[in-house]
């Protein structure tokens, strides 16, 4: 967790009595989520939320209340038992129309996915994010009556895989793959106490290994470990309810079934995410190369002077933007800001594979003026470590808005993305 997250956290952990609408049964909505310095809904929401002790025995609101307790003989850390299932945890606070809107959306018998996307674009209230993400990812069925059954089955499926995969000990694992995962997991979000928890690290290893062996075309590629962290963060949020300094103890105190569901849900959401961008990680990484071409083309249309300066200095997009695409800008913005970005990505059609390029272009353009004064070396040094430490959700939202504007202007332009020279009228209108 970065410094601004830590700084902001003290205000988010205050226990504040929650308003509970008479029609709504709210019991649990602790959160480790905190959008720093954000005046918008989610900060207020976090502060105002009811914070019950993080007892694993306290069930969250569950619209499919009576869940079957499936006894599954899985390894110690995994179970499909869902007595403390976060899947349908939904909470609301007073006077927050956005949050209320989400509540009604997420609890309807058939989730209106278009409306959910529309609402999510502007950011999802932290307390409702985990359910919203699972629905937007296509992991949870939209139909509430089928949901619990499907989720149970998927969780069981994952835990069966884990059992099969790891039952014969480490010696039976693919050595190269396992080694790579084991050296990367400890350096995943190294500043965050959550991801330094040994229990979480063992869990990350299992998810990454299981995903990799089921996707041999790519296998595990460095950076995929980064992409897993937002899911853990969001799915664990409802179960971790006090300041971050004893986060490890809280994680250790979580019961097996909770950890099991968080792990399984993270696995499935990672799978869904990577399904859409798999060719970013296959041999020679064609997806990234293609997007780099698109990004360069886009930047040259939006900001020709910058593009020509980069060109004249010998700066190639692959030198700085490769990582932006490979890790979805997670190395450039904080985890909390990434989570906010993903709300919008999930709301966008092809958010991670297509909209992301507009975001990358907008991100580069943030420093256009400055970059045009710099030489090769200083350009790369700036772009390798862009000054985003103080970025808040507001900065991210501005970035997303700019990206959206570029998308509207260029996405349907017939010449956009084509290798052919730009048609003059298409580009001319956008110069500022």
- Residue 327 binds another protein (CB under 8 A): yes
> Given the complex with another protein, which of 251 and 288 has the nearer CB atom?
288
C-alpha dihedral, 266 to 213 to 356 to 362, nearest 10°: 100
Rounded to a whole number of angstroms, the minimum distance from the CB of residue 320 to another protein is 9
Taking CB under 8 A as the criterion, the residue among 326, 336, 337, 413 binding another protein is 326
Find the binding residues for another protein in span 190-249 (CB under 8 A). Answer: 190-191, 218-219, 221-223, 225-226
Rounded to a whole number of angstroms, the minimum distance from the CB of residue 325 to another protein is 9
- Residues binding another protein: number (CB under 8 A): 39
> How far is residue 323's CA from residue 263's CA, in Å, rounded to a whole number?
26
> Given the complex with another protein, which of 76 and 217 has the nearer CB atom?
217
Find the binding residues for another protein in span 11-40 (CB under 8 A). Answer: none
Stretch that binds another protein, among 232-240, 280-288, 355-363, 395-403 (CB under 8 A): 280-288
Is-contact 110 81, C-beta < 8 A?
Answer: no
Find the binding residues for another protein in span 351-380 (CB under 8 A). Answer: 372-378, 380
- Residue 3 binds another protein (CB under 8 A): no
- Residue 313 binds another protein (CB under 8 A): yes
Taking CB under 8 A as the criterion, the residue among 155, 215, 296, 323 binding another protein is 323
What secondary structure letter does DSSP report for 422? P
- Residue 6 binds another protein (CB under 8 A): no
> Given the complex with another protein, which of 237 and 285 has the nearer CB atom?
285
Burial bucket for residue 87 (CB in 10 Å: 0-12, 13-18, 19+) = buried
- Residue 187 binds another protein (CB under 8 A): yes
Q: Which residues, 6 or more positions from 286, have their beta carbon under 8 angstroms from its beta carbon?
A: 279
Rounded to a whole number of angstroms, the minimum distance from the CB of residue 380 to another protein is 5
Q: What is the 3-state secondary structure (H, E, C) of 94-128?
A: CCCHHHHHHHHHHCCCECCHHHHHHHHHCCCCHHH
What secondary structure letter does DSSP report for 331? T
Rounded to a whole number of angstroms, the minimum distance from the CB of residue 330 to another protein is 10
Token pair in block for residue 200: 């979480």
- Nearest alpha-carbon partner for 129 in 54, 236, 226, 36: 236
- Nearest alpha-carbon partner for 18 in 91, 73, 89, 75: 91
Is-contact 4 334, C-beta < 8 A?
Answer: yes
> How far is residue 85's CA from residue 244's CA, in Å, rounded to a whole number?
22
Taking CB under 8 A as the criterion, the residue among 7, 183, 423, 428 binding another protein is 183
* Helix pair angle (317-326, 286-302), 10° resolution: 120
> Given the complex with another protein, which of 107 and 282 has the nearer CB atom?
282
Beta bridge partners of 143: 110
Which residues contact another protein by CB under 8 A? Answer: 180, 183-184, 186-188, 190-191, 218-219, 221-223, 225-226, 281, 283-285, 309, 312-313, 318-319, 322-323, 326-327, 331, 372-378, 380-381, 384
């Amino acid at each position: 967790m970065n410094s601004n997250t830590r700084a902001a956290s003290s205000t988010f952990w205050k226990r504040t009595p929650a308003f509970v609408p008479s029609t709504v049964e709210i019991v649990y909505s602790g959160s480790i989520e905190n959008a720093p310095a954000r005046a918008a809904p989610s900060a207020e929401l976090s502060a105002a939320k009811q914070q019950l002790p993080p007892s694993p025995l306290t069930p969250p609101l569950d619209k499919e209340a009576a869940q079957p307790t499936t006894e599954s003989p899985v390894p110690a850390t995994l179970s499909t038992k869902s007595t403390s299932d976060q899947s349908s945890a939904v909470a609301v606070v007073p006077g927050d129309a956005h949050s209320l809107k989400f509540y009604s959306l997420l609890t309807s018998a058939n989730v209106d996915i278009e409306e959910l996307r529309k609402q999510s674009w502007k950011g999802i209230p932290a307390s409702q994010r985990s359910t919203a993400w699972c629905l937007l990812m296509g992991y949870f069925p939209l139909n509430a009556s089928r949901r619990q059954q499907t989720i149970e089955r998927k969780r069981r499926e994952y835990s069966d895989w884990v059992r099969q995969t790891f039952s014969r000990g480490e010696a039976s694992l693919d050595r190269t793959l396992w080694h790579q995962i084991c050296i990367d997991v400890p350096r995943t979000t190294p500043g965050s106490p959550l991801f330094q928890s040994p229990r979480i690290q063992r869990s990350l290893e299992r998810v990454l290994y299981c995903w990799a062996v089921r996707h041999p075309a790519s296998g595990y590629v460095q950076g995929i470990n980064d992409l897993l962290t937002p899911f853990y963060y969001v799915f664990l949020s409802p179960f971790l309810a006090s300041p971050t300094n004893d986060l490890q103890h809280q994680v250790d105190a979580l019961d097996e079934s909770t950890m099991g569901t968080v792990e399984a849900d993270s696995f499935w959401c990672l799978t869904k995410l990577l399904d859409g961008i798999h060719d970013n990680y296959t041999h020679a990484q064609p997806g990234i190369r293609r997007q780099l071409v698109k990004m360069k083309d886009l930047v040259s249309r939006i900001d020709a002077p910058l593009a020509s300066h980069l060109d004249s200095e010998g700066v190639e997009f692959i030198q700085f933007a490769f990582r932006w695409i490979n890790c979805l800008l997670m190395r450039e913005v904080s985890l909390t800001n990434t989570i906010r970005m993903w709300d919008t990505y999930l709301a966008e059609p092809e958010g991670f594979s297509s909209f992301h390029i507009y975001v990358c272009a907008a991100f580069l353009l943030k420093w256009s003026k400055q970059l045009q004064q710099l030489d090769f070396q200083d350009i790369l040094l700036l772009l390798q470590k862009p000054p985003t430490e103080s970025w808040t959700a507001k900065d991210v939202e501005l970035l997303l808005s700019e990206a959206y504007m570029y998308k509207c202007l260029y996405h349907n332009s017939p010449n956009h993305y084509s290798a052919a020279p730009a048609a003059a009228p298409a580009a001319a209108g956008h110069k500022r």
